[in-house]
Amino acid sequence: MWKKLGEFVIKYRVLLLVFLFAATGIMGYYASQVKLSYEFSKAIPTNNPKYRDYLSFRSTFGDDGNLMVIGIQTNDIFSLKNFTAYRILEQDLKKIKGVEEVMGLSSTVSLIQDSTGNMVPKKIFDSIITPAGLDSSRIVFESLPFYHHLMVNPSNHSYIMALRINKDILTSPARTKVIAQVTENTELFESKTGIEAKLSGLPLIRTIVADRIKGEMKLFLLGSLVLSILTLLLFFRSFSTMLLSITVVIFGVIWTLGLIVLCGYKITLLTALIPSLVVVIGIPNCIYFLNKYHSNYVATGNKVASIVDMVGKMGVVTLFCNISAAIGFAVFALTKSAILKEFGVVAGLGIMTIFIISLILLPAVLSFLPPPQKAQLKYLNNRWITSFLVRADHWVFNHKKYVIGITVLAVIISIGGISRLKTVGFIVDDIPKTDKIYTDLKFFETNFKGVMPLEIVIDTKKPNGLRKPGVFERVDTLSDFISHLPETNRPMSLAEGFRFFYQGFSGGDSAAYIFPNEKIVEELLRKMKTKSATGASGITKMLMAFMDSSHQRTRISVGMQDVGTERLPLILDTIQKKAETLFDTSRYKVTLTGASITFLEGSRFIIKGLKESILWAFLLIALCMLYLFKSWRILLCSLIPNIIPLLVTAGIMGWAGVPLKPSTVLVFSVALGIAVDITIRFLVNYRQQLPNYPDVQTTVNATIYQTGLSIIYTSLVLIAGFVIFCLSSFGGTFALGWLTSITLLVATLTNIILLPVLILMIRK
């Protein structure tokens, strides 16, 4: 069948090439429409209870992930020069299109009684500043505990300015410009005062990460292409052969980008890797086909017959190799995680597409090119690789026990490392610890105990339920409990607003910053009955953000550290248990939500989905191998050399302290799909050569030399291709690079040495 397919390609080569180029041109149009995703990718399905809680919170209280913060630490902020610059910074930030609200020192207010007895806000800092006026305003500001640890840390003179950015801007390309303008204004403040400013918050982190994805996508694609060009020129010493192979992978990249658009997807942190993966996986296709073509030509001297035999012998091998690689990626589509599903669908389709492109383009174009010259065939007798294969052959036939012993020892050591593996992830986990994003975040964690959002919603289950006596007193008790946890800042809630109100009612005495009696609470709630409430309208607007319009639900907003997926559940459980002691579960529902919760749930979901994907990939690849070889013994031989590299990689992660997280679990499924290619190529060649030799030993010996060359070449290309990802500034992409390279290196050794030993041990 495959030989007839080769003859078909040669016979209709012109028509097939026209069709391929035309189809690629159409896909090129779609590829030009590809866009970067400006949405925070949903790692969990929309029907997940945690995600539904988060959507319910956002629909009631608004987005909790659109707050950006600017922090400074100085003893001289209240000098006339520095305070003026700080006020100008706040004013300039308010002018930026997309910034809805800015809260800094010059915006702070105190509460005073007007002539009618109502509490009204009064700006602490006058618009016209004098040194004396600034000192008196400073005294007023420092006497208001409401702002302590929310806007100022009195113990070390740290200050926060908060910006609320329009949520629609944050899901559009315009957010890059907004963040750039905020950064530019902050740098101007730094130059005026010499005070270093720190920036953080989810809008900043997400924007910078998205922009880096865009830049690294181009870097990896260009790097993988350059590396492929150099490798092909080094191996084949032929410009035309190199150009043909590069054309194959470029077509593959175009089709992949077009598939992203046709599937209705956008570029995310994961899908940005696919074009480079297509290059890395596509080049070995070319090497195997060309290696077979050149070997056939050396043996027969007939170009057309060599091309037909190339398709006949390597077509089925390459098909199953691409199927196994595609399975390694496509199994992600079986998960319910949107980001993994998109990656799996596009990567799986892209890998199978490049197989079709290879099958058409390579034989068709080779039939037009002149026969390979002697210089192009020199790589077939590379003395370094031949020397390695001689040694490998010696170990296979003379040191079987040592091979098995070393393998068992490696597995034992790996299991020891696996026992040390931990599953933990952080929101900024993939960002280097020396990066400004990371160091600035740590500034806020050190001085304000973090800025990652955690929301607690207390539902009274009835309209006006918040007007029941004692509700907000219990809210105040819960807030006080949370503020004393080492990882959480002092929460913001209506209870804090009531304390602030009572201090103003008491003439500004800081000792009066206490929770008021029920009569005052009831009066405040009455004034907040509608959004059109008059009286203390300024404070009303602020407090209204912490209660729904029906007075049924209220929120407690907490800034916390990026504690990671291991510590976060313990903190949440502590808060939940305390809340349940304060609020009767039959009358109240307390829900913990926010971006921190969805991150935790998303990380758990992704890791669980990836583990399931590895099992599915393993099962499906095993079925493909069983169908291909129709032998349980060969199936066993094929799986062992591919399980061991995964165990070794997991062991290295354990000993090196690399945790299991979404970005590192991805390695195993990807590496399994690619490493199995080596096994398939070896075993198919072994099966094809078996009738030509008198016994299994001779066949194994011949297979080592016949497939060893192309296996080593392609392994070097794959390893070098994945090493490119080590240039990434993202820890996950970096891990994908070096961990996959190690897995492939070990897989090459196990398939060239251990696999032949296993075949000899179970031979008939």
Threshold 0.95, pTM exceeds: no
pLDDT of residue 481: 94
CA-to-CA distance for 358 and 315, rounded, in angstroms? 10
Q: What would you measure as the largest C-alpha separation in the chain, in angstroms?
A: 110
- What SS3 state is found at 625? helix
* Exposed e or buried b per residue across 319-333, where buried means at least 16 C-beta atoms within 10 angstroms of its C-beta: bbbbbbbbbbbbbbb
Find the Cα–Cα–Cα–Cα dihedral 236, 239, 240, 241, rounded to 10°. 20
- What SS3 state is found at 553? strand
Q: Angle 274-300/303-330 helices, nearest 10 degrees?
A: 150
Q: Please report which helix (H) or strand (E) contains residue 69, including its range.
A: strand 67-73
Per-residue DSSP letter, 511: G
The residues, ordered by sequence, that sit 6+ positions from 439 with a Cβ below 8 Å of its Cβ are 198, 433
CA-to-CA distance for 357 and 24, rounded, in angstroms? 10
pLDDT of residue 475: 92
User: Minimal CA–CA distance to 285: which of 353, 382, 370?
Assistant: 353
The residues, ordered by sequence, that sit 6+ positions from 27 with a Cβ below 8 Å of its Cβ are 254, 255, 257, 258, 259
**CA distances to 621, 634, 764 from 627, in Å:** 10, 11, 20
Q: Write out the two tokens for 494.
A: 């209506």
Encode 199-213 in three state secondary structure: EECHHHHHHHHHHHH
CA-to-CA distance for 501 and 493, rounded, in angstroms? 13
The residues, ordered by sequence, that sit 6+ positions from 40 with a Cβ below 8 Å of its Cβ are 65, 202, 206
Residue pair 186/102 in contact (Cβ under 8 Å)? The answer is no
CA-to-CA distance for 565 and 674, rounded, in angstroms? 30
Residue pair 418/650 in contact (Cβ under 8 Å)? The answer is yes
For 1-51+221-366, give the CATH class.
Answer: mainly alpha
Per-residue DSSP letter, 753: I
516-520: Cβ within 8 A, 24+ apart: 518/469, 518/470
CATH number belonging to domain 383-419+631-717+726-764: 1.20.1640.10
CA-to-CA distance for 110 and 342, rounded, in angstroms? 51
Q: Which residues sit opposite 707 in a β-bridge? A: none
Unique residue bearing structure tokens 């807030």: 479
Backbone CA torsion sign across 741, 745, 750, 756:
positive
Residue 266 Cα to chain centre, angstroms: 14
pLDDT tens readout for residues 636-675: 888 888 889 888 988 998 898 888 776 677 777 777 777 7
CA-to-CA distance for 548 and 466, rounded, in angstroms? 10
Per-residue DSSP letter, 508: S
Residue pair 38/171 in contact (Cβ under 8 Å)? The answer is yes
Residue pair 174/135 in contact (Cβ under 8 Å)? The answer is no
CA-to-CA distance for 124 and 295, rounded, in angstroms? 85
CA-to-CA distance for 440 and 427, rounded, in angstroms? 14
Backbone CA torsion sign across 107, 108, 112, 116:
positive
Q: Give phi and psi for 535, each to the nearest 5.
A: 80, -120
User: Minimal CA–CA distance to 751: which of 665, 690, 686, 688?
Assistant: 686
**CA distances to 60, 98, 180, 526, 607 from 63, in Å:** 9, 15, 22, 26, 26
Residues of the chain with pLDDT under 70: 1, 38-43, 115-119, 269, 429, 527-543, 662-663, 763-764
Domain boundaries of the chain, sorted by first residue: 1-51+221-366, 383-419+631-717+726-764
